[in-house]
Amino acid sequence: MEQNQSNVNVTIPIQTFVPLMTQKQFAELSGLSRDAVKAQVINGYWPSVKVGKYRMINLISLVDQLKVAESEIVGG
């Protein structure tokens, strides 16, 4: 006996995490001015990467730096 099979499309929503943030977004979330964030990026206070013509805050590197700083405080 032959079974009738039908194709069913299932959509699974997947949230993606983009490990980069614009300087504008970072300023809005941190409460800093855009000019302050831009100056801090230029001076190396915030890890960043250039994507096209934009310099973006690298959130993965920032989290890594915070973990190192925390371990130095707790362990030090």
Does 56 fall in a domain?
Answer: yes
Range of the domain at 34: 20-75
What per-residue confidence (pLDDT) applies to 16? 64
Does 63 fall in a domain?
Answer: yes
Look at the chain and report how many structural domains it folds into: 1
pLDDT digits (tens, 9 = 90+) for 17-58: 679 999 999 999 999 999 999 999 999 999 999 999 999 999
Does 10 fall in a domain?
Answer: no
What per-residue confidence (pLDDT) applies to 43? 97
pTM for this model (two decimals) = 0.68
Does 29 fall in a domain?
Answer: yes
Does 48 fall in a domain?
Answer: yes
HEC letters along the chain = CCCCCCCCCCCCCCCCCCCEECHHHHHHHHCCCHHHHHHHHHCCCCCEEEECCEEEEEHHHHHHHHHHHHHHHHHC
Does 13 fall in a domain?
Answer: no
What per-residue confidence (pLDDT) applies to 15? 61
pLDDT at 8 over 90: no
What per-residue confidence (pLDDT) applies to 5? 63
Name which residue leads in pLDDT, 75 or 42.
42
Does 5 fall in a domain?
Answer: no
Does 66 fall in a domain?
Answer: yes
